[in-house]
Amino acid sequence: MKEKLLLTPGPTKIHPDILEALGRPIIHHRTTQFQDILKEVNEGLQYVFQTKNDIYLLAASGTGGMEACVANLVSPGDKTITVEGGKFGERWTELCQAYGGDPKVINVEWGKSVQPEQIKEILDGDKDIKAVFITLCETSTAVTTNVKAIADVVKDTGAILVVDGISGVAVTDIQTDNWGVDMVVSASHKGFMLPPGLAFVSVSAKAHAVIEKATSPRYYFDLRKSKKAFAKTDTPFTPAIGIIVALNESLRLMREEGLGNLFARFARLAEATRTAARALGMTPFPDDACVSNALTAINVPEAVDGGKLVKVMRDEHGVSVAGGQAQLKGKIIRIAHMGCVNEEDLTRGFTTLEKVLTALGHNFTAGAGVNALQESFSQKV
What is the model's pLDDT at position 2?
72
Sequence-distant (≥ 6) Cβ neighbours of residue 220 within 8 angstroms: 237
- What is the pLDDT confidence band of residue 18, given thresholds at 50, 70 and 90? very high
Arithmetic mean of pLDDT, 24-31: 97
CA–CA separation, 252 and 255 (whole Å): 5
Arithmetic mean of pLDDT, 5-10: 98
CA angle centred on 214, ends 43 and 167, rounded to 5°: 45
Question: Is residue 1 over pLDDT 60?
Answer: no
Q: DSSP characters for 329-379? A: TTTEEEEE--TT--HHHHHHHHHHHHHHHHHTT----TTHHHHHHHHHHHS
Count CB-CB contacts under 10 A for residue 376.
19
Arithmetic mean of pLDDT, 9-18: 97
Count CB-CB contacts under 10 A for residue 182.
26
Q: What is the pLDDT of residues 144-162, one digit of tens each?
A: 999 999 999 999 999 999 9
Q: What is the pLDDT of residues 284-330, one digit of tens each?
A: 998 788 999 999 999 999 999 999 999 999 999 999 999 999 999 99
CA–CA separation, 309 and 321 (whole Å): 9
The dihedral built from the CA positions of residue 23, 24, 28 and 32, taken in this order, carries a sign that is: negative
Verdict on whether the full-model pTM lies above 0.75:
yes
What is the model's pLDDT at position 60?
98
- Report CA dihedral (227, 232, 235, 238) to the nearest 10 degrees: -150
CA–CA separation, 14 and 53 (whole Å): 28
What is the model's pLDDT at position 68?
98
What is the model's pLDDT at position 287?
76
Main-chain phi, psi angles of 56, to 5 degrees: -95, 140
- What is the pLDDT confidence band of residue 380, given thresholds at 50, 70 and 90? low
Sequence-distant (≥ 6) Cβ neighbours of residue 190 within 8 angstroms: 9, 10, 11, 12, 62, 166, 167, 169, 170, 171, 294, 338, 339
Q: What is the amino acid identity at position 211?
A: I
Give the percent of the chain with pLDDT over 70: 99
Domain ranges of the chain: 5-10+258-378, 16-256
Fold entry, domain 5-10+258-378: Aspartate Aminotransferase, domain 1 (3.90.1150)
Arithmetic mean of pLDDT, 18-31: 97
Q: What is the pLDDT of residues 37-82, one digit of tens each?
A: 999 999 999 999 999 999 999 999 999 999 999 999 999 999 999 9
Question: Of how many residues is the chain composed?
Answer: 381
Q: Which of 171, 113, 123 is nearest to 147 (CA)?
A: 113
Which range has the worst mean pLDDT, 4-18, 234-248, 279-293, 296-310?
279-293
Q: What is the pLDDT of residues 327-344, one digit of tens each?
A: 999 999 999 999 999 999
| C-alpha radius of gyration, the chain, whole number | 21
**Into which CATH architecture does domain 16-256 fall?**
3-Layer(aba) Sandwich (3.40)
CA–CA separation, 98 and 64 (whole Å): 13
- What is the pLDDT confidence band of residue 381, given thresholds at 50, 70 and 90? low
Arithmetic mean of pLDDT, 178-184: 98
